[in-house]
Structure 1
Amino acid sequence: MTVDIDGAKLKNMFESDVCALGGDSGGPALRGTTALGLLSGGSDETKGTSSSSGTYRNYFTPVQRVLEQRGLRVY
């Protein structure tokens, strides 16, 4: 999906319903021990607090894109 984060249009992101707190940006989205993406932002009304509960929408940049943009590979 394409999302607008702080005025920047980011393409090919994926959405998650996890709660994110301030300072969580860059944190991983994991499936078991496999990193799928890095937290890049979320909608203001759904960012969690330590006592919040509900429906959240947070957006991740796929790990493979980050690696490719930096010329990196994982062995």
Structure 2
Amino acid sequence: DPIVGEKVQRSGSSTHVHGGDITAVEVTANYQEGSVDGLIQAGVCAESGDSGGPLFEGDTALGLTSGGRGDCLFGGESFYQPVREALEKTGSHIG
């Protein structure tokens, strides 16, 4: 499980790999399509096309990119669906 202050990286098809810290857990992101609860928030930029990419620390997967604010030129923050929840909701498991 992610913890606040943890150093993480995320990878996306548009902006590739960027790093930052987890700034909050169990947050709500308000998107144009509606609100999503229980997300991980990180001080890592993400841009259009990065959605679905992994948030990780070393070889541990923590989340899947949901969205963000800002950009990778000036900085930003991003939100992630926790991997554990995604696996539970789809009935999937690793290993």
Describe the SS at the equivalent of 1:2. strand
Asked which structure has the greater CA Rg, the reply is 1
> Deviations along 1:5-24, whole A, 9 cap, x unmatched?
22321111011111113211
TM-superposed deviation, 1:34: 0.5
CA distance in 2, matches of 1:27, 1:7: 20
Structure with larger RCO (C-alpha < 8 A, sep 6+): 1
Q: State the Cα RMSD in Å.
A: 1.2
* TM-score, normalised by the number of residues in structure 2: 0.66
The answer on 1:53 being equivalent to 2:74 is yes
Structure having the larger proportion of residues in strand: 2
Q: Extract unaligned runs of 5+ from structure 1.
A: none
Structure having the larger proportion of residues in helix: 1
Give the number of equivalent residue pairs.
Answer: 69
After the TM superposition, which parts of structure 1 deviate over 3 Å for at least 4 consecutive aligned residues?
none
CA distance in 2, matches of 1:47, 1:40: 14
* TM-score, normalised by the number of residues in structure 1: 0.82
CA distance in 2, matches of 1:21, 1:3: 15
Identity of aligned residues (%): 36
Paired residues for 1:1-75 under 5 Å: 1-43=27-69, 46-48=70-72, 52-54=73-75, 56-75=76-95
